[in-house]
Structure 1
Amino acid sequence: MAEREDLELPRGIALAWGVAANPQRGPKREMSVEQIVEAAVQIADAEGLGAVSMAAVASRLGYTPMSLYRYVTAKDDLILLMQEEATGLPSEEARTAGDWRETLTALYREQVTLYLQHPWVLEVPISGSPVTPNSAAWMDAGLAALDGTALTHDERLSVLLLVTGASRWTGLVLAGYARRQRSSGEAPDDITLHEDALYRALVTEDAYPHLRAAIDAGVFLDESDPFMFGLERSLDGVQAYMDRVADGRRPERVPWMGLDDADIAPDKRYREARKAVREAEKALRAARRVERQVAREARERAATAARRAE
């Protein structure tokens, strides 16, 4: 496919790549896009993404909000640049960790660490792939790990999406627990014990037999890493797929599911049908709760009758 010579870059992406036009003459004091982004990242690290505004950044730098617009013309552009700054570049240690599997695992761990250092990045809405230098470097590192394997380019990208998705989910969960620890002052072990106690008190065998069995087995007290277990098993699957390809048994790719529902979401009759389904599912759940309650009461009556008969 030919590259488009007339492609107009969005302002934020142009700033990230360093190809944006210089701002008009600014205030007397020196200021730069880098300073603005650094100040915004500091605010987000300390107070969360919601605390970032042009006014807050300007105040931190000692300028008026209007002076910032000479450099960054929209808040969305600022957030893109903040994400780029927080993401940084993959380390050389991660890029050269070993074979494809070891390298992808090292990149995964490094991404999770970045999410814990800058948890607000997880709050940035996903509206597409961020076409920025640092994001491109992470993608390149992941694809480089798979270079030389039997996977096609689209298969390599799919594996990369698997790993980055796993790191994002892990970061989301761990950042949430870290936030709770900071706000409550609880130790990690105390949180674990409290959650286990809640599950044991509320989850019954008759209502949730499989979950209760897992609770009794101590799954919520287990100290192993469930996220790493999932990643390792996923990479096992990638290796098994590579072995199949090496044997000449490459299966057909499943077509992308796309966003078909998004096309019809505004349709009134479709929304009403979806609402009816949700209400029916809610009624079914309520009926099952009643069924379980009645079953418990019946068993209690039967047990009482049996004791009296003795």
Structure 2
Amino acid sequence: MTEDLEPELPRGIALAWGVAASPQRGPKREMSVERIVEAAVEIADADGLGAVSMAAVAARMGFTPMSLYRYVSAKEDLVLLMQEEATGAPSDAVREAGGWREQLEVLFREQLQHYLRHPWVLDIPISGVPATPNSAAWMDAGLSALAETPLTYNERLAVMLIVTGTAHWAGTILAGYTRVERELGGGTDAVARNEDAMFRSLITADAYPHLRAAIESGVFLENTDPFSFALDRGLEGVAAYIAQVGEGRREQRQPWIAADDADIADDKRFREARKAVRDAERVLRAARKVERQTAREARERRAKQTPGG
């Protein structure tokens, strides 16, 4: 029987777990992986992820860029460590919250707060689950919340995606609105009024009847929390499914992710066919726009021809 080989950890992962070999010597005592990450996070908090570079971090610390590479050998590793530092780990309040739903709700709120404190984390491209201590701690906390349920591990991880995905999306939207608030001034109400006015000027009842009806209802001026609403509805669905599993009924669904075309996505003729479809859809949208405009003009002419119109 062949023993499983121990994988060779990427440098960034090894640094995150504290198992990477330390440099034999450094320029000064002030230089360390922890201090480098701290300086990089300070730059990102102030000016965004795009402002972070090995040169910028080195300048902030008063060293040369080459001296940093003795500790963090690539910017990708630095960004991974920054993400690990900024997202932190869940607090004890998650496990102490009560039932599984209450624990997941606390987990959601804590993740969202981390995103709002460090919005640049949301700009890091997603290339899989970071295999870092804090990332593992968040997953473990979610799985712990669901440990007493009859869900399989696959189902528990899927529930975690509802929570973490909603937190990530909420953080993205709220961080974006915060930037707009700073640019416009006047706070959230000013942003909402500006958004409502823009939609009212662009969206017509002829072209988008249901969206226009929502605008007329004042939907963009309401001070509501759509993310908590979405999370609540999602967790209610999970609770219903848990009850269903407890009765011995477990649904097996086919994946929604379309993988049928994945093997031919790089085929030239297939790409050309897809482009032709997109072009045809654009022409159809333009034709419908002309149709709506013509219909409005026809109604206006008819109104003028009608006695008393």
Shorter-chain TM band: over 0.9
Counterpart in the other structure of 1:125: 125
Query: Does the CA contact (< 8 Å) of 2:36 and 2:57 recur in 1?
Result: yes
Query: Does the CA contact (< 8 Å) of 1:89 and 1:134 recur in 2?
Result: yes
- Cα displacement string for residues 88-125 of structure 1 (whole angstroms, at most 9, x for unaligned residues): 01111133222111111111111111111101000000
Distance 1:260 1:67, change over 3 A: farther
Please say which of residues 227-236 and 250-259 is displaced more in the overlay: 250-259
Counterpart in the other structure of 1:34: 34
Counterpart in the other structure of 1:221: 221
Distance 1:13 1:3, change over 3 A: farther
Counterpart in the other structure of 2:183: 183
Separation (CA, whole Å) in 2 of partners of 1:55 and 1:31: 14
Kindly indicate whether residue 100 of structure 2 is the aligned counterpart of residue 106 of structure 1.
no
Distance 1:180 1:239, change over 3 A: same
Q: Secondary structure at the match of 2:162?
A: helix
Separation (CA, whole Å) in 2 of partners of 1:47 and 1:261: 41
Counterpart in the other structure of 1:15: 15
Aligned residues between the structures = 308
Separation (CA, whole Å) in 2 of partners of 1:28 and 1:226: 50
Matches for 1:139-288 after TM superposition, within 5 Å: 139-255=139-255, 257=257, 261-288=261-288
Please say which of residues 112-121 and 192-201 is displaced more in the overlay: 192-201
Separation (CA, whole Å) in 2 of partners of 1:270 and 1:129: 31
Please say which of residues 86-95 and 170-179 is displaced more in the overlay: 86-95
- Deviation of 1:253 (Å): 4.0
Separation (CA, whole Å) in 2 of partners of 1:257 and 1:3: 35
- Deviation of 1:76 (Å): 0.2
Query: Does the CA contact (< 8 Å) of 2:184 and 2:190 recur in 1?
Result: no
In structure 1, the gaps of 5 or more residues are: none
In structure 2, the gaps of 5 or more residues are: none
- Cα displacement string for residues 122-153 of structure 1 (whole angstroms, at most 9, x for unaligned residues): 00001111000000000011111111011111
- Deviation of 1:225 (Å): 0.8
After the TM superposition, list the runs of 4 or more consecutive aligned residues in structure 1 that deviate by more than 4 angstroms: 258-263
Query: Does the CA contact (< 8 Å) of 2:86 and 2:114 recur in 1?
Result: yes
Kindly indicate whether residue 79 of structure 2 is the aligned counterpart of residue 79 of structure 1.
yes
Separation (CA, whole Å) in 2 of partners of 1:252 and 1:191: 44
Please say which of residues 30-39 and 263-272 is displaced more in the overlay: 263-272
Structure 2 length as normaliser, TM-score? Answer: 0.95
- Cα displacement string for residues 238-290 of structure 1 (whole angstroms, at most 9, x for unaligned residues): 11111111111101143473756454333211221121111111111101101
- Deviation of 1:201 (Å): 2.1
CA RMSD of aligned residues (A): 1.7
Please say which of residues 184-193 and 150-159 is displaced more in the overlay: 184-193
Distance 1:191 1:142, change over 3 A: same
